[in-house]
Amino acid sequence: MTDTLPATLDDLSYPEQFTLWSMRYWANGVRHDFSPYAVLQEAYWRAKCPRTLFPLDSFLSLMIAGYSRSVDIRCTCSKKLSSDEWRILHAIALAQTGAHNQISELIGDFLAPATVRIACPAILDWAETLKDSGLFLPLRSGEFTRNIETKDRFSDDRTRARLRLVTGSKNHTLH
């Protein structure tokens, strides 16, 4: 377990950067109505974890279908991390170490309770496919893990993009 939390994307380990980029690229596809799958599949193939796309897609699809509030997934160019991105990265790290009991609380911050029950197996599968390929996300302690509600540490209003599904509309909006 590492005691420091990275302040920017540059301070993340390669598995964290790759996982974060994957989430952001997938969300960018939803925001701008294009399919991210070919690029993601090639990236996973090159990283020697070709089975990872399906669990990533499953979890993120559940996230936009069953959110309880707007989820802050930043643009791929943002150097700062949102607290929601940290929740997902930390949940994957916990899943890789076998600490499954804390995952529901992390993702339950932005998912409806019924969605949490469905999404936990997806995030466990996502973590396992990364782990099987040698991509281990470090389990971090410190400010974030002690105070999940911290927002200011991760704020970057210039590049903030919230992924939200507008009820009754087939279009996704950027907030």
pLDDT in tens, 149-159: 444 344 444 33
Euclidean distance between CA atoms 128 and 37, whole angstroms: 20
Q: What is the mean pLDDT of the chain?
A: 83
Q: Is residue 24 exposed (0-12), middle (13-18) or buried (19+ Cβ within 10 Å)? A: buried
Report CA dihedral (10, 172, 144, 113) to the nearest 10 degrees. -150
* Domain regions of the chain by residue span: 9-174
Instruction: Supply the pLDDT for residue 43.
Output: 96
- Return the number of other C-beta atoms located less than 10 Å from residue 170's C-beta: 6
Q: Kindly state the percentage of the chain with pLDDT values over 70.
A: 78
Please list the residues that pair with 162 across neighbouring strands: 72
Instruction: Note the helical H segments in the chain.
Output: 14-32, 37-46, 53-65, 83-97, 103-107, 113-132, 143-146
